[in-house]
Amino acid sequence: MKIPGKRTLLIVLPFFVLLTAVTYYHKNLIQSFNVRKLVAAGLDDRIVPHQINDLDRLKAVIGDDVLSFEIDVSIFTVEGRTEFRVGHGAPDPNSPFLVNYLEATRWRVLKKLWLDVKNLDDDNIDSATAALERLDTRYGIRQIAIIESSMTDSGFDKIAARGFHTSYYLPTRELLAISAGSEPEKTAEAAKLAEQLKRQSVSAVSFDLRLYSFVKDYLEPLLDTSAVYHVWESVKLWEWGALDDLTTSDYYRDPRVKTILVRYWGPG
């Protein structure tokens, strides 16, 4: 492989720097337009930035006057005290505390806080519930929080019993496979899910929009009419027409769909 000479680098490097700067500015310009449109329409409690797991990204979102966001968290108990830590990957006891994120937004009145709890189970459900109670006492999150979990045990109802809005995460890969199967398979899976959701007393289900047809055709007829949906889509706020495409979609017009996660361009 031929290594570029100094003269070639002197020509090519400024071009890439300029291209990077233009791309960054372009994305921010479009996103700024979309965000202003979103906020002006009062839709920032329904169309919500996804995976705001970095404090700088969170400050950028709040700085744009978007007062709702989704964060991935895990529960940890260290030296007898249970805390939520922020992070999307495998649970990490060294990741930042959720309380630091809430402290950074304390000067604004949040509209919606979606907490995707990655490791909730029967062993930590009591301590997690107590931790949520402490956060509510300090930051008043009970009325704005979505507590999402893939936990299938009935113990998930302990959080719902404390007045928090709970949502069961529908397993994407498993249900996509079932959705491609036979009618009896889809009917049986929907019935099993409906029974589980009833035991857990959840208020909602959350899912990848690729599962929308399965939910509408098979699961919804078995759910209580009060059950709602929180969904995610690959819509990017830094693309022209993103909001127009979203707000003309079938799922946006569905009154059961209360939250739609979208991608936000920013630091982190």
Calpha distance 4→18 (Å, rounded): 19
- In this predicted model, what pLDDT tens digit does every residue of 168-184 receive, in sequence order? 999 999 999 999 999 99
- Report which of 68, 77, 25 is spatially closest to residue 43, judged by C-alpha positions: 68
Helix axes 183-200, 172-179, angle to 10 degrees: 150
- pTM value > 0.85: yes
| Residues contacting residue 252 through CB under 8 Å, at least 6 positions apart | 246, 260
The CATH fold assigned to 6-263 is TIM Barrel (3.20.20)
pLDDT, tens only, 138-152: 999 999 999 999 999
- Please provide the DSSP assignment of 26-86 as one string: HHHHHHHHHHHHHHHTT-TTTEEES---SHHHHHHHHHTT--EEEEEEEEEEETTEEEEEE
Please report the pLDDT score of residue 16 as a whole number.
Answer: 42
